[in-house]
C-alpha cells in the first residue's frame, strides 16, 4: 500500500516531462503578450504554408484584414490592391501619422493575400515567432494586446508580420517589419 503514493508520484512526474512546452521569446518591457500552445502555433504555420503554396487556398482569409503601415507603403502602388476603395486607416506613432489599409470583404482579403503569395513565389522563407525588435514595432503600431499566433515570414529581403486570431484561425494583421 505504501508503494501506491510513490507510483502515483512517479507517474505524475513522467507526465510533466512529456507535457507540451510553449516556445518562449523575449518580450519587450511594457508589451502585453499572450502565448498560444505549440499546437496552435503549428496549426497556424501549416495554414500559412498551405495558403502560400496553393493558389486556390484562402483558409486564413476573412472579411477584414489590416495592412500595417510599412507594408502599405509598398502595396498601395500594386494595382490590384490600390483599387480597393474602402478601408483607409491611420496609425499614430508619436507625432507621426501613417497610412494603412483595412479590407472589408473576403474578396479584398484574398486579393491582398494573392499579392503576397506572388511576391513569395519561388523564394525560400522561414516561418518563426517574432523577435524583440519586431515585437517593439508591432506594439507601437497596434491598439490592442498581442495574442499569438503572431508569426514572421522571413525572406532574404522582407520580414512579414502575420497576426492570426486564435479562435477562428483567420488572418487579422499583415505588415512588414521595418528594415534593421
> At 80, is the secondary structure helix, strand, or coil?
helix
Give the other-Cβ count within 10 Å of 44's Cβ.
23
Tell me: cis bond preceding 24? Omega within 30 of 0 counts. Answer: no
**Residue 14: its pLDDT value, please?**
41
Return the pLDDT at 115. Answer: 97
Domain ranges (residues) in the chain: 23-176
Gyration radius from the chain CA atoms: 20
Which residue reads 507510483 in cell numbers?
7
* Nearest-angstrom CA–CA distance, 75 and 114: 12
Please report the pLDDT score of residue 94 as a whole number.
85
pLDDT at 176 (0 to 100): 98
Is-contact 49 127, C-beta < 8 A? yes
- Contact in structure between 162 and 138 (CB atoms under 8 Å): no
CA-CA-CA-CA dihedral for 133, 136, 140, 141, to nearest 10:
60
Below-50 pLDDT ranges, the chain: 1, 4-20
Which of 149, 137, 126 has its CA nearest to residue 180?
Answer: 137
Cβ neighbours around 84 below 10 Å, total:
21
- The pLDDT value given to residue 22: 67
Strands (E), 70-158: 88-93, 96-103, 126-129, 146-147, 150-154
Q: At the top level of CATH, which class does the domain 23-176 belong to? A: alpha beta
pLDDT in tens, 54-92: 999 999 999 999 999 999 999 999 999 988 989 999 999
Q: Are 76 and 87 in contact (CB under 8 A)?
A: no
Amino acid at each position: 500500500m505504501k508503494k501506491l503514493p510513490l507510483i502515483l508520484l512517479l507517474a505524475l512526474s513522467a507526465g510533466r516531462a512529456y507535457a507540451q512546452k510553449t516556445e518562449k521569446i523575449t518580450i519587450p518591457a511594457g508589451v502585453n503578450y499572450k502565448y498560444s500552445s505549440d499546437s496552435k502555433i503549428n496549426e497556424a504555420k501549416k495554414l500559412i504554408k498551405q495558403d502560400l503554396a496553393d493558389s486556390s487556398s484562402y483558409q486564413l482569409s476573412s472579411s477584414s484584414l489590416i495592412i500595417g503601415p510599412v507594408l502599405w507603403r509598398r502595396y498601395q502602388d500594386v494595382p490590384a490592391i490600390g483599387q480597393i476603395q474602402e478601408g483607409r486607416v491611420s496609425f499614430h506613432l508619436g507625432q507621426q501619422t501613417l497610412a494603412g489599409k483595412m479590407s472589408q470583404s473576403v474578396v479584398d482579403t484574398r486579393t491582398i493575400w494573392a499579392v503576397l503569395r506572388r511576391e513569395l513565389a519561388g523564394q525560400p522563407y522561414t516561418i518563426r515567432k517574432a523577435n524583440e525588435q519586431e515585437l517593439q514595432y508591432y506594439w507601437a503600431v497596434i491598439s490592442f494586446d498581442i495574442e499569438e499566433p503572431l508569426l514572421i515570414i522571413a525572406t532574404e529581403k522582407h520580414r512579414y508580420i502575420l497576426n492570426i486570431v486564435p479562435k477562428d484561425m483567420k488572418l487579422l494583421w499583415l505588415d512588414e517589419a521595418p528594415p534593421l
